[in-house]
Amino acid sequence: MAAYETARRSAAARIGRARRPSTDRRLRRYLNRHLQLAHEAAKDEPEELARIDMLQRIFLDHLPNTVLAELEEARRMELTGSSLVRRLEALRERRRLNPSEPSDAGPAHVEVMRIVCSDGLV
């Protein structure tokens, strides 16, 4: 009976994990911290700032598991500064990652459909 309960709990845990998007908070904190430090270090170089901003938009968003595995490897290697930026750019080129487009449909651009009941037309 105990084996059945253990198997049921592990199956429920797997199902619960499958429903949630895969996020590694430790990895995201690591990337955010070191990209912020690289951003502060490059405050006089506008091209470098633009590259780091783009990398932040890409790698702090939802990513496929294969990319997360490669990012985890970079974290284990404890890459920082320009070496981390170069590694992320290489990963971006290899996986063809682009930042997600911001949504332009704000509250002023939303169209509202109006449904009129046919009884009101009579």
The DSSP code for 77 is T
pLDDT digits (tens, 9 = 90+) for 16-60: 444 444 557 899 999 999 999 999 999 889 999 999 999 999 998
Better pLDDT: 110 or 84? 84
pLDDT digits (tens, 9 = 90+) for 79-100: 999 999 999 999 999 999 988 7
Q: With pLDDT > 90 as the criterion, what percentage of the chain qualifies? A: 48
- φ/ψ of 88, rounded to 5, equals -70, -40
The structure tokens listed for 101 are: 């487009």
Which pLDDT does position 61 carry in this prediction? Answer: 85
What's the predicted TM-score (pTM) here? 0.64
| Integer Cα distance of 105 and 116 in angstroms | 25
Does the pLDDT of residue 107 top 70, yes or no? no
Does the pLDDT of residue 78 top 70, yes or no? yes
Q: Indicate the range of 5-14, 83-92, 111-120 predicted with least confidence.
A: 5-14
